[in-house]
Structure 1
Amino acid sequence: MIQSVERAIHILEAIAHAGGAAHLNEIAGITELRSTTAHNILKTLQSLGYVRRRGGDTRYHLGDRIQNLARVAGDDDRLRRDLRALLEAMAEESGETVFLAVPSGDEVYFLDAIESRETLKAGSQSGERLPMAGSAIGLLFLAHIPRIRQRMLETHADRISLNLELEIEAIAQRGYALDQENWLPGLSCVAVPYAEAGEVRAGFGLAGPSFRLPLGRLEMLAGLMGDILDDRVPI
């Protein structure tokens, strides 16, 4: 048995048994580790996204990645199943390729997609992963999920420029994200958040050739997608 792995697992279990958050001395006591040893392991887990700290809170919380592991085991299937009708409605109303995505650590994971019937279209990305910073759907998560944004700022500061920070703030203010040929030449995209109990859980995106999706149409489609979400039957 590899001791460092065993200790890391015990620390994660200790935080979970404490209700999802615990102080360093509490973790060290439960795991019977020296505080310095527990602290060093926690720093590694934090850098990897398996634990996190919150402003004004000295406790260690279970991070996005450990929660994503649990989500992948069941919640992804539920979201894919429950939100398929909304995806179909967006595809029918827009005529463009639409997709459903969720945050997964520092990446975006595409759960589902429906391709446009047009000859020139954006391809389906279902099952693919992309870096969080860059794409419209990734910027949407950075804008609407503060803990992901904070971790990116702490661990990937080289990826977050001032212009990117300003764009993230603009997305948070207007409620949707736009991409006009930033990710790929000739491709434009708009993305809107999907929330449950006040927490953003996923995002819907729409993509297509830029000549069919000028700024005005992207903004109109953002409103259309928002209306479809507002009219959904609660799940």
Structure 2
Amino acid sequence: MIQSVTRALEVLDTIAHAGGAASLGEIAARTGLKTTTAHNILRTLQDTGYIRRRPGDMRYHLGDRILNLARVVGDDDALRRRLRPVLEEMAARTFETVFLAVPSGDEVYFLDAIESPRTLRASSQRGERLPMAGSAIGLLFLAFLPALRRRMFEVHAHRIGPGIEAEIEVIAARGLALDRENWLPGLSCVAVPWRDDGEIRAGFGLAGPSSRLTATRLGETAQIMRELAAVAGDTA
């Protein structure tokens, strides 16, 4: 066995068995590692997105990258069932096509969708995958998942067009993603994050014709979506 890999896995296992968060002292004591060794391993895991720190919290938490892996091998149906009522309410209140998506590796995976009853509408993308940098909800994930963003810029830089970094910064500051015909002519979209225990695990999106989804209407629908998302989790 490779000792460094074994130690890193022991650290992750310790954090998981501590409920998803543990201090440096706890990790060193439970793994039998020296504090300096444990700290070096934790720093590497943090840099690669497998663990993270939260403001004002000295503990180390499981990061978005490992939570994403857990979701991929877990039960997507459970998440779909949990958030389906929220999606239905969004559809009922906006009359536009709405969808639920999650990060899946380096792509966006559309878990669920409800099409608008209107004749002129965006189509459902349920079951489809898109490049992370190719949609409003993908940019939303890049804005709020630092490890994913670093990987995209390091490994897939050739897929990322000019101006994406600036757009991601705007999304992070605004707390949601807006797309006025950037992805497809005549189509406008809005995407808001959904957090579970402080971690962004999914996103809700809405899409429709730009002739109907004016800038004012996009703002109104974004507020509706943020309020409804709060019903199912912490979206602060």
Using structure 1 for the length normalisation, give the TM-score: 0.72
CA distance, structure 2, for counterparts of residue 128 and residue 117 of structure 1: 21
Asked if the contact 2:64/2:145 (under 8 Å) is kept, the reply is no
Equivalent residue number for residue 174 of structure 1? 174
Q: Provide the aligned C-alpha RMSD in A.
A: 3.6
Change (3 A) 1:217 1:80: same
1:58-85 deviation line (CA, Å, top 9, x unaligned): xxxx986665443133342221011000
Equivalent residue number for residue 81 of structure 1? 81
Asked if the contact 1:65/1:104 (under 8 Å) is kept, the reply is no
Q: Which runs of 5+ in 1 are unaligned?
A: 1-8, 21-48, 56-61
Equivalent residue number for residue 202 of structure 1? 202
The offset of 1:147, in angstroms, is 1.2
* Counterparts of residues 18-97 of structure 1 (less than 5 Å): 67-97=67-97
1:50-109 deviation line (CA, Å, top 9, x unaligned): x86989xxxxxx986665443133342221011000000000000000000000111000
Using structure 2 for the length normalisation, give the TM-score: 0.72
Equivalent residue number for residue 132 of structure 1? 132
**3-state SS in 2 of match to 1:202:** strand
* Counterparts of residues 79-158 of structure 1 (less than 5 Å): 79-158=79-158
Letter in 2 for 1:225: M
CA distance, structure 2, for counterparts of residue 147 and residue 193 of structure 1: 16
* Counterparts of residues 194-233 of structure 1 (less than 5 Å): 194-230=194-230, 232=231
Asked if the contact 2:103/2:202 (under 8 Å) is kept, the reply is yes
The offset of 1:198, in angstroms, is 1.1
Q: Which runs of 5+ in 2 are unaligned?
A: 17-47, 54-61
Letter in 1 for 2:141: F
Equivalent residue number for residue 32 of structure 1? none
Letter in 2 for 1:227: E
**3-state SS in 2 of match to 1:133:** helix
The offset of 1:193, in angstroms, is 0.3
CA distance, structure 1, for counterparts of residue 211 and residue 120 of structure 2: 10
Asked if the contact 2:83/2:232 (under 8 Å) is kept, the reply is no
Change (3 A) 1:234 1:140: closer
Asked if the contact 1:64/1:105 (under 8 Å) is kept, the reply is no
The offset of 1:164, in angstroms, is 1.1
Letter in 1 for 2:222: A
Letter in 2 for 1:133: A
Identity %: 62
Aligned length: 205
Equivalent residue number for residue 188 of structure 1? 188
1:89-131 deviation line (CA, Å, top 9, x unaligned): 0000000000000001110000000000011111110010000
**3-state SS in 2 of match to 1:227:** helix
The offset of 1:134, in angstroms, is 2.3
